[in-house]
A = this chain, B = another copy of it.
């Protein structure tokens, strides 16, 4: 069970955008350079965050990516599910209804207890990620981090 490598990329890109302040944008090129990532592939990944409503993309000479809503309203779960999808890692194929041990359908109206427990674990994971917003992440960074990020993101020398 693995999350895509780009999960780390997008968590960091979203954190960086959150540090730029309201309305400020950054291009895929700027974000790629800032994070030392391959620009073309990063640009595609950033589009998945746009599709899922985490980022907004603006066009034009000063266009780029920005958060689509306040950092306090974007959780780690929003970003992780934008990258990896929201489907649960455990799939119940109703083994209990097949083979010599098959249960009759009337005993299978409620979900399998094993599937239920696997679902609960996934919900615990999702709840944990949903409990941290980008604003929480920013609060946990050193006070000097925001100014440094802004300076390095905009420095084109």
Contacts and interface: CB of A to CB of B under 8 A. Distances in A.
Interface stretch (A32-40, A47-55, A59-67): A32-40
Contact of A141 (B1, B113, B117, B127): B113
A44 interface: no
Interface in A1-19: 1-3, 5, 7-9, 11-12, 15-16
Interface string A133-151: 0000100111000000100
Query: Chain A: interface secondary structure?
Result: helix
Nearest to A2: B89
A127 B117 CA distance: 12
Interface string A108-133: 00000110011011111111110010
Interface of A: 1-3, 5, 7-9, 11-12, 15-16, 32-37, 76, 84, 89-93, 95-96, 98-102, 107, 113-114, 117-118, 120-129, 132, 137, 140-142, 149, 152-153, 155
